[in-house]
Amino acid sequence: MKSLNSPKTLLIIDDDKIFCDTIKSYLAKDVMEVFTAHTGAEGINICSHKKVDVVLLDQKLPDGEGHSFCQSILKHNDKAKIIFITAYPSFEGAVKAIKAGAHDYLSKPFELEELSLEIEQALRTIELEMVEQFHQYKIDKESEDSILVGSEGGLSEISRLVDLAASSLNPPVA
Q: Decide: 16 and 60 in contact? Cβ < 8 Å.
A: no
Higher pLDDT, 37 or 6: 37
What digits encode the pLDDT tens for the residues 21-58? 999 988 877 668 899 999 999 999 999 999 999 999 99
Instruction: Say if residue 106's pLDDT is above 60.
Output: yes
In 3D space, the residue among 55, 69, 52 whose CA is nearest the CA of residue 105 turns out to be 55
- Residue 1: what pLDDT? 41
Instruction: Say if residue 2's pLDDT is above 60.
Output: no
What average pLDDT does this structure show over 89-106? 86
What average pLDDT does this structure show over 79-94? 88
What whole-number percentage of the chain has pLDDT above 70? 78
Q: For residue 146, name the pLDDT band (cuts at 50, 70, 90).
A: low
What's the CATH fold of domain 8-129? Rossmann fold (3.40.50)
Rounded distance between C-alpha atoms, residue 12 and residue 55, angstroms: 6
Higher pLDDT, 174 or 12: 12
**pTM of the predicted model, to two decimals?**
0.73
Q: Where along the chain do its domains lie?
A: 8-129, 132-169
Rounded distance between C-alpha atoms, residue 81 and residue 72, angstroms: 13
